[in-house]
Structure 1
Amino acid sequence: MPKVLLYSRQRLTKRPLQHWLDDTAGSVVLLTTHKAVVGAEDVLATHFPEHSLVDEYYAWSTERTAEETARAHGVDLVASTSEDDVLRAARLRERLGVPGQGTASATAYRDKAVMKRLLREAGLPVPSFAVIDSPMDLLDFLDAENGPVVVKPRLGAGAEGVNILRAPSDLDAFLARQRTSEVPFLPGQWMAEGFVHGDFFHVDGIMRDGHVIHCWPSQYNSGVAEHLHGQTQLSSVLLAADDNRTAVLRTLAQDVVAALPAAPTLAFHLEAWLGPDGNPVICEIASRAGGGLVAETYERAFGVHLAKEGLRAQCGSPLTLTHQPAAPEPPTGWILFPPGHGRFAPPPGPCPVPGTDFTLHLEAGTECTGLEYATQSAAGALVTADSPQEVRKRLTSLTEWWHLHTDWL
């Protein structure tokens, strides 16, 4: 087994890395935080005796700790579990001279301006866009656009920092957030793009060396930014094999992966719109598994957990699934219900909607102040049925039940 340095800020009590990977005690050097191992000290001692704990995961000092740890243990590979680690893992690989996704590929999958430039040069459909390095850049782009504009961090994830500018008051509000923004208002940090009207989809799967091994599209109930700003539930449903949009979106995923700098085997998560004319427009793609319950839904339908599969591939393990499945079996969807404002009073009794695997993510009595990030949830569910249409009906029934029986006191 190769020796692997693994970046992970995930709590070991929530993400069982010891069950995902082979021979962890002998092959995985874990770089994580003190907070992430609380309550899992026995797991750390048994499965990750070779580890390095840091206080501030995203501090520059952690980069040096990672390299020193990697060299001390003679690692052969570098792996990561979060999108925030994609670039730092790639840079460390190149410093160490070990295989895996390099910085050119990692940058293309992380920096949305670089990504869209490469896709546009390949002739693929992207919105109009511009790099925003000063307020004048933004004003120029607003003048050139005939409609709403979206401003977003170039390295953001999960609709973090996304602003939809529909009126002068929206522009004023965005500019006024400069002092409190987690993403600095500095060159290289922001971009703007034209607002796209259409239904919103995601395509998830596994890619290798510029080719898609397998993937499947799903339709969101709304845009992720709209979910975050509106504090509404977020859901999606896998499309049917005979849905015309399935072929369009799978072809789009293949073209996007082929157009960007290739990487060894990784999971990917692509988001795109389909307009009234049925033509796609690319939102973005990431070289990691989708968030929310995307990986769990894919596993229910195809037997492969994409986050686990992508991590195992980075660590040198073979793929579980090496061909394209014909169709989801069973048809599956998922939903996340956001936290509200107040003390959580969940619905009494079991969920009455058939085909629903419902899970509370908060304990009764938890004090909440609303939705803070896209995948935060008070509860979530996987829903299966005989068809995508029936899955959507059950998601509607589940939503009605949730709102009728949930209180925020």
Structure 2
Amino acid sequence: MPKVLLFSRQPLTGRPLHEWLDDTAAGVVLVTTPRAVEGAEDVLAEAFPMHRLVPDYHSWATEQIAEEAARTYAVDLVASTSESDVLRAARLRARLGLPGQGTASATAYRDKVVMKRIAREAGIRVPAFAAVDSPSDLFDFLDAEGRPAVIKPRFGAGSEGVAVLRGPDDVTAFLARQRTSDVPYLPGQWMAESFVWGDFFHVDGMMRDGAALYAWPSQYDSGGIAQRLQDHSHLSSAMLDAGDPRFGPLMRLTHDVLAALPGSPTALAFHLEAWIGADGEPVLCEIASRAGGALIAEAHERVFGVHLAKEGLRAQCGSALTLTGQPPAPAELSGWTLLPAGHGAFVPPADPCPVPAADLTVRLAPGAVGRGVEHLTQSAADALVTAGSAAEVRKYQEELAQWWYAAAGWVPTASATP
């Protein structure tokens, strides 16, 4: 049984790593936070006796603590569960001479400028883009490419920090928020790219050595993920039918991107996002070497029997894969919907969800104060929707959203004022 150092800030109550890793959990050195183990202190003590608790998870000190623990216990592997840990895990592997995703691969999957440069050089369609290391870089890009344009953190996730620049006021607003930004306004941190008009998709699966082991594309609803943060709206996604004309181009794009970027000898989950415009050809938005968020992993488990976050972690820890090849078209497709919090004290719907295909979970307690959508995957309730076709999934998702907005109540409070 290999010993594994595992970076994870996921709450043990919501992501039971000890159950996911079954008999391999005893060999895991877990690096986590006090907040992540609240309510699961007994699990931590029993399942992960070699753990390390770090007070400031994103600080450089965490890497020092992790390396000291890895050397103390002579670990054989390094694993991670979140996108923010992909690079630090790769750096630790390099220092210890351990197998797995290396720093070149981790950088290509994390740094969106490096990612798009490699993709463009391989002939893959990407938006016009540039690194933004100073205000002049941004002004030069806007002069060359025009507006609308998008500015985003190079190492960001979940659309946090993304701004759409449609006019001079948007540029001024982006520059003015420097002091409140979680991402520093420093070289190497920001990029700009042209705005792409089109429908927005994601492709999820498992990969190894620069090739997809299996994958399936899905389509976000028309608002898109950045729009959700702006409008405090719901967000939905549904798997595509195998016969959808966009299925093939998205799968070809996925295979091309995986082949172009530096690969990993260890199997990893991946999450790719792309647009398709009027010409029917996909344009790469980005790709990550981890499972997609929201209920993407749960939707795949519902249809294919594989939970991508669990499968990706188990593979990093040396366990065999559950599924090793592309599955046939399933009898049913799945999708998911994140339903937003409003502003005020939550009054749950008085009646059960009337949409038979929706498996609804309410995340807020009655009376809990909602402040809108504060981060991408936050929801007052969410649901998996399963049906025989993508059109049916969409239909049920629309019915679900209409019911939620009519049935959920929000009593105004002073602390929830937008």
Equivalent in the alignment of 1:403: 405
Higher alpha-carbon deviation: 221-230 or 4-13: 221-230
Equivalent in the alignment of 1:278: 280
> d(CA) in 1 for partners of 2:277 and 2:226?
18
> d(CA) in 1 for partners of 2:379 and 2:114?
32
Equivalent in the alignment of 1:102: 102
> d(CA) in 2 for partners of 1:384 and 1:223?
21
TM-aligned CA deviation for residue 366 of structure 1: 0.6
Letter in 2 for 1:39: G
Equivalent in the alignment of 1:89: 89
Instruction: Report the 3-state secondary structure (helix = DSSP H, G, I; strand = E; otherwise coil) of the residue aligned with 1:58.
Output: coil
Structure 1, unpaired ranges of 5+: none
Match of 1:349 among 351, 357, 377: 351
Equivalent in the alignment of 2:414: none
Equivalent in the alignment of 2:365: 363
Residue 37 (1) aligns with residue 43 (2): no
- Specify whether residues 25 and 206 from structure 1 end up closer, same or farther in structure 2 by C-alpha distance, changes over 3 A only: closer
Instruction: Report the 3-state secondary structure (helix = DSSP H, G, I; strand = E; otherwise coil) of the residue aligned with 2:182.
Output: coil
TM-aligned CA deviation for residue 128 of structure 1: 0.2
TM-aligned CA deviation for residue 230 of structure 1: 1.4
Report Cα offsets for 1:137-191 as digits up to 9, x if no partner.
1011111123300000000000010000001111111111011111011110000
RMSD: 0.9
Match of 1:288 among 282, 285, 290: 290
Equivalent in the alignment of 1:71: 71
Instruction: Report the 3-state secondary structure (helix = DSSP H, G, I; strand = E; otherwise coil) of the residue aligned with 2:22.
Output: coil
> d(CA) in 2 for partners of 1:378 and 1:332?
20
5 Å matches for 1:6-85? 6-85=6-85
Higher alpha-carbon deviation: 323-332 or 75-84: 323-332
TM-aligned CA deviation for residue 349 of structure 1: 2.2
TM-aligned CA deviation for residue 42 of structure 1: 1.4
Higher alpha-carbon deviation: 27-36 or 120-129: 27-36
Q: Does the 8 Å contact 1:150/1:165 carry over to 2? A: yes
Report Cα offsets for 1:53-106 as digits up to 9, x if no partner.
111111111110000000000100000000000000000000111001011000
- What is the TM-score normalised by the length of structure 1? 0.99
Letter in 2 for 1:187: P
5 Å matches for 1:185-196? 185-196=185-196
Higher alpha-carbon deviation: 282-291 or 366-375: 366-375
TM-aligned CA deviation for residue 361 of structure 1: 1.0
Equivalent residue pairs, number: 409
> d(CA) in 2 for partners of 1:205 and 1:253?
10
Equivalent in the alignment of 1:305: 307
Report Cα offsets for 1:276-313 as digits up to 9, x if no partner.
11010000000000000000001111110000000000
TM-aligned CA deviation for residue 408 of structure 1: 1.2
TM-aligned CA deviation for residue 26 of structure 1: 2.7
Equivalent in the alignment of 1:260: 261
> d(CA) in 2 for partners of 1:25 and 1:9?
16
Equivalent in the alignment of 2:380: 378
Instruction: Report the 3-state secondary structure (helix = DSSP H, G, I; strand = E; otherwise coil) of the residue aligned with 1:244.
Output: coil
- What is the TM-score normalised by the length of structure 2? 0.97
Equivalent in the alignment of 1:247: 248
Structure 2, unpaired ranges of 5+: 412-418
Q: Does the 8 Å contact 2:204/2:217 carry over to 1? A: yes
Equivalent in the alignment of 2:131: 131
Instruction: Report the 3-state secondary structure (helix = DSSP H, G, I; strand = E; otherwise coil) of the residue aligned with 2:246.
Output: helix
TM-aligned CA deviation for residue 338 of structure 1: 1.8
Letter in 2 for 1:137: D
Letter in 2 for 1:299: E
Instruction: Report the 3-state secondary structure (helix = DSSP H, G, I; strand = E; otherwise coil) of the residue aligned with 1:18.
Output: helix
Q: Does the 8 Å contact 2:147/2:165 carry over to 1? A: no
Report Cα offsets for 1:249-276 as digits up to 9, x if no partner.
1111011000000112100000000011
> d(CA) in 2 for partners of 1:25 and 1:110?
27
Equivalent in the alignment of 2:141: 141
Q: Does the 8 Å contact 1:202/1:271 carry over to 2? A: yes
Report Cα offsets for 1:329-375 as digits up to 9, x if no partner.
32111000122211111211211101110000111111122211110
Q: Does the 8 Å contact 2:116/2:126 carry over to 1? A: yes
Instruction: Report the 3-state secondary structure (helix = DSSP H, G, I; strand = E; otherwise coil) of the residue aligned with 1:225.
Output: helix
TM-aligned CA deviation for residue 198 of structure 1: 0.2
> d(CA) in 2 for partners of 1:34 and 1:139?
43
Equivalent in the alignment of 2:331: 329
TM-aligned CA deviation for residue 24 of structure 1: 4.0
TM-aligned CA deviation for residue 25 of structure 1: 4.7
> d(CA) in 1 for partners of 2:49 and 2:362?
33
Letter in 2 for 1:246: F
Q: Does the 8 Å contact 1:234/1:337 carry over to 2? A: yes
Equivalent in the alignment of 2:235: 234
Q: Does the 8 Å contact 1:240/1:328 carry over to 2? A: no
Report Cα offsets for 1:176-213 as digits up to 9, x if no partner.
10111110111100000000000000000000000100
